[in-house]
Amino acid sequence: MTPQRKARIEAIAACRQPDLTVFMERVHKPHNVSAVLRTCDAVGIMRAHAVPAGGTLPKLNHTSGGAQRWIELVRHRDSAEGLKALKQQGFRLYAAHFSEQAIDFRTPDYTKPTAIVLGTEKFGVSDETATLVDEHIAIPMHGMAQSLNVSVATALVLYEAERQRRGAGMYEPRSLAEEPWKSLATDWIQRDLDRYRKPAPKRP
């Protein structure tokens, strides 16, 4: 590993946001899951969550840009279990969901521990999940279409979170002597070394 590569990995790890995440509820199309994870990586999310449709996540495609190597993806058996765990960790849950109670997606304070909850491409979050979250958020629509693609909507919300957090100085690099950034950088460097390490030549 070159010094430049090691420095880049450490710099990115030091800016990761452990208290910003997404929760995908049965998002089943590979290109959407991949695109969501790519945006997570771009805004510095450390860990994402998912309830797989049919029990398994789709195989990720090139849309992810390799982001799955840098984002821990935690799988949950069901939404209630996963959302309860996030609440116990102090996260406020915002579901991208059209309802009479929905507020503009730019209204919440995303500098607080935040989880963005996403539903399926066609139906959105389940009725149960809609009752379990703290708030519903919506993106203003001025056309004939009633919603955006789930990965596009995710990108808009996460970049609003990024804007708020950057303004609050939350992307200032953390010391790699502190957790969880220390372990994150160490794990990334080791995985990068393992990925490119060539096997020893076989002896005749």
H-assigned helices in the chain = 3-13, 30-42, 79-88, 127-132, 150-167, 181-196
Average pLDDT over residues 68-97: 93
Average pLDDT over residues 117-131: 88
Q: How far is the C-alpha of 87 from the C-alpha of 84, rounded, in Å?
A: 5
pLDDT of residue 57: 59
pLDDT of residue 32: 87
Q: Is 44's pLDDT higher than 90?
A: yes
Cβ-in-10-Å burial (0-12, 13-18, 19+) of 154 comes to: buried
Q: How far is the C-alpha of 204 from the C-alpha of 98, rounded, in Å?
A: 67
Supply the pTM of this predicted model.
0.87
Domain boundaries, the chain: 20-190
Query: Which tokens belong to 75?
Result: 């799988």
Give residue 61's pLDDT band: very low, low, confident or very high (50, 70, 90): low
Q: Is 86's pLDDT higher than 90?
A: yes
Cβ-in-10-Å burial (0-12, 13-18, 19+) of 30 comes to: middle
Query: Which tokens belong to 91?
Result: 């996260």
Give residue 65's pLDDT band: very low, low, confident or very high (50, 70, 90): very low
Question: Residues within the annotated binding site for S-adenosyl-L-methionine?
Answer: 139, 148
CATH of 20-190, one of 2.40.128.120, 3.40.50.300, 3.40.1280.10, 3.30.470.30: 3.40.1280.10
Give residue 47's pLDDT band: very low, low, confident or very high (50, 70, 90): very high
